[in-house]
Chain A
Amino acid sequence: MSVLKLEEYENDFWKDVDNRMSWDQIIPGDLRNTKPVSLTQEVISQFAKLIGDDNPLYHDEEYAKSTPYGGIVAPPNIHIVLMFACTDITDWMRSPGTINCGQSWYYNIPARPGDTITMRGSALDKFIKKERLFAVHENVFTNQHGQVICTGRGQTIRPV
């Protein structure tokens, strides 16, 4: 388990490009390699600011306590960063040219500072449409109590 620090991740997606699975190699149902990360109040606030969300629920403990959440929580869409945070540089979602077509996410309970989040993810399907290579994928994020935080599905066009 490691504490999520955004600055510690590789920002060159060309690195290790040859070690990532291509569309041909992706096997629907195979689990992606993941590792758990834990969330601090600082990284929650930093994430929210960087994606343009200034709701005080993510930044101001006094305000957050006055809401039904009872304290600072992570934004529901924290899965945006968790997907990259829980996978490594060789994960195929980092392949340059990966085009996101749409996503659907279900939110069960919020992630909170101090939570350790585990990702379970795989492709579910792959297909070709109009000469484009598509993958359908699903991720589930759970906390240290085994409670589901959120589940989501998405479709991406894979680089040739």
Chain B
Amino acid sequence: MSTHAEFNKITSGEKITGRPFTVTRETIADFALGSLDFNPLHFDEDYMKEQFGKTKFRGVIMHGMQNFAMITRTLTDWLTPRSGYHRRLETRWLTPVYLGDTITPVATVKRKLETGGSRWIVFEINVTNQKGISVATGEAMAEFADVFPGAPT
């Protein structure tokens, strides 16, 4: 199916729900090695008892970029079979994610747009924890181009 036809099948309001992700000491250790981010915020319970300026935490927190990575996974898993290209992701962290929390990203198709040269989807992003509280929000953009970006020639 052509990229154009794939684009046409997508409907505004369509919701893409990612797989839930539960935070453990093991997922934090894995993410730290994968990202090379060994900030003690993610490991050291004693350090986390301190006051961080005006911020106080109740234990070690998940890497913010783990959140980002789960949103990316949700988008690329959905886009790749549709020949869509993940162009952009913008996120804001609203509240820390702690050990034992389960987060689930949802991307909602907000807008479909055709420009002179290409086709675009704008997504609204919301990541919630097991209590239904938003831990991150954002926006993403995908392109459905005739020529796939960076495709080998």
Query: Roughly how many angstroms separate A47 CA and B34 CA in the complex, as a whole number?
Result: 5
A residues contacting the other copy or chain, number (CB 8 A): 54
Q: Are A52 and B152 in contact (CB under 8 A)?
A: no
**Which of A73, A75, A97 has the largest number of chain B CB atoms within 10 A?**
A97
Q: Are A14 and B40 in contact (CB under 8 A)?
A: yes
Q: Are B91 and A53 in contact (CB under 8 A)?
A: no
Q: Are B80 and A132 in contact (CB under 8 A)?
A: no
Task: Map CB proximity to A onto B21-42 as digits: 1 under 8 Å, 0 otherwise.
Answer: 1000001001111111111110
Among A13, A103, A108, A157, the residue within 8 A (CB) of B90 is: A103
B residues contacting the other copy or chain, number (CB 8 A): 48
Chain B residues, CB < 8 A from A96: 39-41, 47
Q: Are A108 and B149 in contact (CB under 8 A)?
A: yes
Q: Are A107 and B87 in contact (CB under 8 A)?
A: yes
The chain A residues found within 8 Å of chain B, CB to CB, are: 6-7, 9-14, 46-47, 49-53, 55, 57, 67-71, 73, 75-77, 80-81, 84-85, 94, 96-110, 130-133, 147, 157, 159-160
Nearest 4 CB-CB pairings of A with B: A50-B34, A109-B150, A84-B36, A104-B90
- 10 A-B contact pairs sorted by A residue (CB < 8 Å): A13-B40, A46-B34, A51-B30, A51-B31, A53-B69, A76-B72, A77-B69, A101-B64, A108-B149, A109-B150
